[in-house]
């Protein structure tokens, strides 16, 4: 964990926001933006988890979704109509790993775990929604995450659609499909 003062946090948030808007595929910048702007949302998510039996269990046990805990061979052999098999197909067809970047800029250990859990579950949402990993599809997923998590990074990502090149705008059919926009 890296401690930041208010000025450092603001500069890092602004720089990562500009960088992520310029290149939405820079996951490191998106992650930094989420960590430097998400304290209130992470606190809210943590509080919601504390009020729920399953949430409490998750916070107590702190399960992880990593390349060490996901048995890809097992998932690949599940019936084709299962979530696990679909998750395996999504991950392998997109060349993805369950490994996520370490949370660096969230000072509270409990909130850092909530951020880690959010990141590790991101690809589950791709699997559930059927959204791929193109920039328009990632931004569509950020709309969903914005409503669910209230993370400012998701709101910034979701609202960035208006700044994209016109050639990319046509890829946002997922907004119509999922949001009725």
How many angstroms separate the Cα of 74 from the Cα of each of 92, 93, 99, 157, 170? 13, 16, 17, 34, 38
**Average pLDDT, integer, range 132-137:** 85
Euclidean distance between CA atoms 101 and 67, whole angstroms = 12
Residue 37: which of 16, 58, 65, 64 has the closest Cα? 16
Q: How confident is the model at residue 124 (pLDDT cuts 50, 70, 90)?
A: very high
DSSP string, 72-94: HHHHHTS-TTSHHHHHHHHHHHT
**Average pLDDT, integer, range 3-19:** 93
Q: For 12-68, what is each residue's pLDDT tens digit? A: 999 998 888 788 778 899 999 999 999 999 999 999 999 999 999 999 999 999 999
H/E stretch holding 65 reads none
pLDDT greater than 70 at residue 102? yes
Euclidean distance between CA atoms 23 and 69, whole angstroms = 31
- In percent, the amount of the chain with pLDDT more than 70 equals 88
How many angstroms separate the Cα of 27 from the Cα of each of 138, 158, 180? 11, 15, 27
pLDDT higher at 140 or 66: 66
């Amino acid at each position: 964990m890296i401690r930041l003062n208010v000025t450092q946090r603001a500069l890092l948030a602004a720089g990562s926001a500009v960088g992520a808007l310029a290149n939405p595929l820079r996951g490191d910048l998106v992650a930094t933006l989420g960590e430097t702007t998400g304290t209130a949302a992470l606190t809210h998510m943590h509080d919601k988890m504390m009020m729920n039996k399953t949430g409490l269990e998750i916070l107590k046990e702190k399960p992880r979704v990593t390349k060490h805990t996901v048995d890809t061979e097992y998932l690949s052999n599940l019936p084709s109509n299962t979530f696990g098999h679909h998750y395996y197909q999504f991950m392998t067809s997109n060349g993805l790993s369950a490994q996520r970047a370490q949370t660096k800029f969230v000072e509270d250990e409990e909130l850092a775990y909530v951020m880690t859990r959010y990141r590790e579950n991101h690809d589950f949402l791709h699997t559930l929604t059927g959204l791929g990993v193109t920039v328009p599809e990632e931004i569509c997923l950020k709309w969903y995450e914005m409503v669910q998590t209230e993370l400012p990074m998701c709101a910034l990502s979701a609202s960035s659609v208006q700044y994209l090149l016109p050639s990319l705008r046509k890829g946002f059919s997922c907004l119509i499909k999922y949001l009725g926009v």
